């Protein structure tokens, strides 16, 4: 069978998968007796039609960039980190502790400190599954799923029994001090003269996420460790033969992955809620799976896919607000994207391959050989 040219693999197949997912979502909308065209219009208008909508889209996209990068780094080493949700929860705890108990003089110090703390908590939460995978061969998918649930229990305990202010019924921490409030995206863009809504949760973390995308690109494609991670992902025996320790690579990859997921908390906990609530992550850890699959585990792809899912999330919320389509539609679209870009990838690929071989012009030397044979 012929090899497909790289652009087909990197660009065309994800786009076809995405179109399939959206077509089926359209059928679902027709099935619940609503108008898909109208729904699309509401989504575009609500998510991209105003700087307010853009603010929310970018806010969600920031979350998804972190979790998408987390999943994709692990995928590069053939590890399926399904525990982004739990790691982001623990990252939230790390950020909250840093913001509540350290008297920061200025938000910029707080941002650095909270980022480190969130990343450390996320990484430590990934450390035990990583250790069990590396040393005991316990399947990382199962252990990270279990750790998601354990994280939820830990967070529940800490919020209800420890961090909850006296007299409050809400399982949430107290408000962070004003000195750690991060600058809003509207304020930042206002400095350079771009008018942007100030009432959205989008904040400076967006730029941290962009830096993280570049840093992951440098790590994966321009560093020795990144090379080792990719080699390990392609073939474990070959890396062992090359003198690379699988234990070391598994540990480091998962620590980086968990750290990235934990860093998401500076956006949602420090930037938006400014206190730690029980359901702060809201499934962003799982959306990271869809984002990583869609973005083909490449930081730039993750960036694009995160924007797309940001649009989907904000647009879906608008649908829930203005139409009678339930907000859960976005979970269905998310499921279909994961299904087509992840599980049914071969189906799309086989289809594309069949069409490609059919319409491909035969290379000149083959034609010459055929003529010679005659």
Partner 1 sequence: MDFATALQIADSAIRLATPLLLACLAGLFSERAGIFDIGLEGKMLAAAFMSAAVAAVTGNVWLGLGAGILASLSLSAIHGVASITFRGNQLISGVALNFLASGMTVLIAQTWFGQGGRTPSLIGGGRFTSIELPFAEALRDVPIFGPIYYEVISGHSILVYVALLCVPLTWWVLFRTRFGLRLRAVGENPAAVDTAGVSVIGMRYTAVAICGILCGIAGAYLSTALAAGFVKEMTAGRGYIALAALIFAKWRPWYALSATLLFGLLEAVANRYQNIDMPSWLAITVLLVMAAGLVWGGRKGRLDMAVLGGLAAILAAVSVAIWMGSTISEGTTGLPVQLMQALPYILTVVILAGFVGRATPPRAGGEPYVKER
Q: Which residues bind partner 1 (CB under 8 A)?
A: 28, 31-33, 80, 82, 124, 127-128, 131-132, 134-136, 138-139, 141-143, 145-147, 149-150, 153-154, 156-157, 160-161, 247, 251, 286, 289, 293, 324-326, 328-332, 334-336, 338-339, 342-347, 350
| Residue 31 or 103 with smaller CB distance to partner 1 | 31
Please report how close the Cβ of residue 211 comes to partner 1 at its closest, in angstroms.
Answer: 29
For the chain, give the longest Cα–Cα distance. Answer: 93
For residues 125 and 176, which CB has a smaller minimum distance to partner 1 in the complex?
Answer: 125
What is the nearest approach in angstroms of partner 1 to the Cβ of residue 335? 4
Q: Which is nearer to partner 1, 354 or 366 (CB)?
A: 354
Kindly report the length of the chain: 374
Q: What is the DSSP letter of 170?
A: S
Least distance from partner 1 to the Cβ atom of residue 149, Å: 5
Beta strands in the chain (DSSP E): none
* CA gap 330, 14 in Å, rounded: 18
Determine the Cα–Cα distance for residues 245 and 282; give it in Å rounded to an integer: 36
Shortest distance in whole angstroms from residue 323 CB to partner 1: 12
CB of 121 to partner 1, least distance (A): 13
Residue number with CB closer to partner 1 (58 or 251): 251
- Give the pair of three-digit tokens for residue 72: 């994709």
Between 100 and 145, CB nearer to partner 1: 145
In order of 17, 90, 350, 364, the CA distances from 285 in angstroms are 21, 12, 30, 50
The number of C-alpha atoms within 13 Å of 336 and in the hemisphere containing its C-beta is 19
CA-to-CA distance for 296 and 25, rounded, in angstroms? Answer: 22
């Amino acid at each position: 069978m012929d090899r497909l040219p790289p652009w087909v693999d990197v660009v065309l197949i994800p786009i076809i998968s995405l179109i399939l997912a959206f077509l089926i979502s359209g059928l679902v909308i027709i099935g619940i007796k609503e108008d898909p065209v109208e729904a699309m219009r509401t989504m575009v208008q609500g998510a991209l039609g105003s700087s307010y909508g853009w603010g929310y889209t970018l806010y969600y996209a920031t979350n998804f960039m972190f979790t998408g990068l987390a999943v994709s780094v692990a995928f590069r080493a053939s590890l399926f980190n399904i525990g982004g949700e739990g790691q982001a929860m623990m990252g939230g705890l790390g950020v909250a502790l840093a913001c509540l108990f350290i008297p920061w003089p200025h938000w910029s110090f707080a941002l650095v400190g909270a980022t480190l703390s969130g990343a450390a908590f996320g990484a430590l939460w990934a450390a035990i599954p990583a250790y069990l995978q590396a040393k005991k061969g316990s399947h990382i998918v199962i252990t990270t799923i279990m750790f998601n649930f354990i994280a939820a229990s830990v967070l529940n305990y800490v919020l209800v029994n420890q961090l909850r202010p006296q007299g409050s019924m809400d399982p949430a921490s107290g408000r962070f001090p004003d000195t750690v409030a991060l600058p809003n995206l509207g304020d930042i863009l206002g400095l350079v003269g771009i008018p942007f809504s100030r009432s959205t949760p989008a904040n400076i973390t967006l730029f941290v996420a962009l830096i993280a995308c570049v840093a992951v690109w440098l790590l994966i494609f321009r560093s020795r460790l990144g090379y080792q991670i990719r080699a390990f992902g392609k073939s474990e025996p070959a890396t062992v033969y090359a003198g690379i320790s699988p234990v070391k690579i598994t540990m480091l990859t998962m620590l980086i992955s968990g750290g990235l997921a934990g860093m998401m908390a500076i956006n949602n906990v420090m930037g938006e809620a400014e206190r730690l609530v029980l359901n702060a992550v809201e499934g962003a850890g799982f959306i990271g799976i869809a984002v990583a699959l869609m973005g083909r585990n490449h930081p730039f792809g993750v960036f694009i896919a995160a924007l797309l899912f940001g649009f989907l999330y904000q647009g879906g919320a608008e649908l829930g607000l203005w139409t009678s389509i339930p907000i859960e539609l976005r979970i269905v679209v998310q499921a279909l994207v994961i299904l087509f870009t992840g599980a049914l990838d071969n189906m799309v690929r086989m289809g594309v391959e069949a069409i490609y071989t059919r319409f491909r012009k035969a290379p000149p030397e083959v034609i010459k050989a055929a003529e010679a044979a005659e």
